[in-house]
Amino acid sequence: MTDRIVQIKRLRDRNDFATHVQSLGIATSLPIGDRAMLARPIEVHGHSLANRFAVLPMEGWDGTTDGRSTDLVRRRWERFGASGAALIWGGEAVAVRPDGRANPRQLCIGPESLADLTELRAITLDASHGEPPMIGLQLTHSGRWARPTGAFEPRIVFRHPFLDDRVGVTDDSVLTDTELDDLVGDFVRASVVARDAGFDFVDVKHCHGYLLHELLAGFARPGRYGGSLSNRLRFFDEVVAGIRRDAPELHIGMRLSAFDLAPHVAGDDGRGVPIADDYPFAFGGDGSGVGIDLSESHELADHLVAAGVELLCVTAGSPYYCPHAQRPAYFPPSDGYLPPRDPLHEVARLFDVARDLASVHPQLRIVATGASYLQEWLPDISAGLVDGGVAMIGYGRGVLSYPELPRDVVTGVDVARERLCRTFSDCTTAPRNSLVSGCYPLDDFYKQMPERRALTAAKRAAEQARGGRRS
């Protein structure tokens, strides 16, 4: 089926691209802008940022088993700094306590990690050369997807008929209100460490199916943390209050899955299909499992403004159950499915949602995501998006293959096409098979790693399971 989707690298010029997006009916969602827009400064919390690029959080499944950094982590952060992006959104997901890790090699934050985190920030700044970027740290609890020692150890907000079996949920997995109260303290203590390590802000992560994102969908959860939107935002409010009390200099951001979809699985032809058409579990969903309704996302944005939060990074869904919505790809990861439709539709939807939120909430600095799929067209379409009121463009997978793209774009250097991320998804397939993440196809460093052989075998096995369809 992917053979019928036009690969981006085959769209040779502006005419080709324009004709293609017109044929898909998404031309107005992906307008071409003037690249000079991306070199315009922007003010965030009183700091002038030199350009409109933000490096998105990208973890590597490559810390130590006690949550500390390694040479691989340090190399990645150095490349984040070398990107020339004016904002480093979060670096990577860092768990606020050991049992909240999504894998045994995820970083974990506590007083003992202060030196590591100080060093990671310094490495990023040193590599940045020109204007120092604003740097945040992403704080998380993996909730349903927690695997602190390898096996699933889910901690959840509510019982979920479509996801519980995937991770071995029992009644004991449901966090009580008192346990959530305690977890607020973990987020606040982690924020104090982030402040002491010199970070400008923390991202209180509300996306991708992890705990705080699931809290937003606790429509039917009883008690103080469920039901009304104000109850579902209680956790965030308490973390904000704690940070204002204990680390008042620290800014706060939120990475939000602004909409969610029903879990998707491979259908008969290998393409993703939703497993339900009546789906009342999606924050920002319309109940159908595939449609969106942003009314609560807008209410949440109002809430952020009232709380003095300026930074909102707009993403969607979860890599575990609807990866196509969040990281559009031509080649799916080994645990994924072929794209349900041309992935440009997913980029268009992510951009439309970012634009919509930006236009209604001009006080927020919105960072859009999902741009790596645009490849050659990333600079021009990102410029169009910024022209439409979105503050910054996030750069995720591409930073693994071609970190300096933002610097090249803002300084007018030709984009190095051979380094563009082609959405092979190896950086997702590797950790799905317990290997460290990285750009194995395009980054020489990973190309030469012995893990590449195991990755190739895993990809072949996934392809066979799909009946010969490529991943």
Ligand X SMILES: Cc1cc2nc3c(=O)[nH]c(=O)nc-3n(C[C@H](O)[C@H](O)[C@H](O)COP(=O)(O)O)c2cc1C
Least Cβ distance, residue 329 to ligand SF4 (angstroms):
6
Q: Is 202 in the site for ligand X (CB under 6 A)?
A: no
* Segment 93 to 132, residues that bind ligand X, using CB under 6 A: 93
**Member of 57, 84, 336, 343 binding ligand X (CB under 6 A):** 57
Least distance (Å) between residue 121 CB and ligand SF4: 23
Could you tell me which of 103, 79, 94 has the C-alpha nearest to residue 194?
A: 94
51's contact among ligand SF4, ligand X, none, with CB below 5 to 8 A by partner kind, is none
Closer to ligand SF4 by CB, 47 or 75: give it. Answer: 75
Site residues, ligand SF4 (CB under 6 A) = 397, 400-401, 421-427, 439-442
Q: Convert residues 14-53 into a mask of x (bound to ligand X by CB under 6 A) and - (unbound).
A: ----------------------------------------
Q: How far is the CB of 46 from ligand X (least distance, A)?
A: 25
Told to check if 351 binds ligand X by CB under 6 A, we report no
Stretch that binds ligand X, among 14-22, 26-34, 290-298, 395-403 (CB under 6 A): 395-403
Residues 6+ apart with CB under 8 A from 44: 87, 134, 310, 311, 365, 391
Query: Residue 259 interacts with ligand X (CB under 6 A)?
Result: no
Stretch of residues binding ligand X (CB under 6 A), selected from 24-32, 357-365, 371-379, 456-464:
371-379
Indicate the Cα dihedral angle 381, 386, 389, 393, nearest 10°.
Answer: 100
Compute how many residues bind ligand X; rule: CB under 6 A.
26
Measured at the CA of 209, the angle between CA 206 and CA 211, to 5 degrees, comes to 60
The structure tokens 């050991």 sit at 98
Using CB distances below 5 to 8 A depending on partner kind, what does residue 441 bind out of ligand SF4, ligand X, none? ligand SF4
> Residue 424 binds which entry of ligand SF4, ligand X, none, with Cβ cut-offs from 5 to 8 Å by kind?
ligand SF4
In whole angstroms, the minimum distance from the beta carbon of 56 to ligand X comes to 4
Burial class (CB in 10 A: 0-12, 13-18, 19+), 245: exposed
C-alpha to C-alpha distance for 157 and 175, rounded to whole angstroms: 6
User: Which of 82/442 has CB closer to ligand SF4?
Assistant: 442
442 binds, among ligand SF4, ligand X, none (CB under 5 to 8 A by kind): ligand SF4
> Of the listed pieces 302-310, 388-396, 446-454, 459-467, which binds ligand X according to CB under 6 A?
388-396
* Angle (nearest 5°) at CA 147 between 289 and 122: 100
Task: Judge whether 31 and 384 are in contact, CB under 8 Å.
Answer: yes
Q: Which does 285 bind (CB under 5 to 8 A by kind): ligand SF4, ligand X, none?
A: none
Least distance (Å) from ligand SF4 to the CB of residue 23? Answer: 25
Is residue 395 a contact point for ligand X (CB under 6 A)?
A: yes
Q: Is 371 in the site for ligand X (CB under 6 A)?
A: yes
Binding site for ligand X (CB under 6 A): 56-59, 92-93, 138, 207-208, 255, 315, 326-327, 369-373, 394-398, 427-428, 437
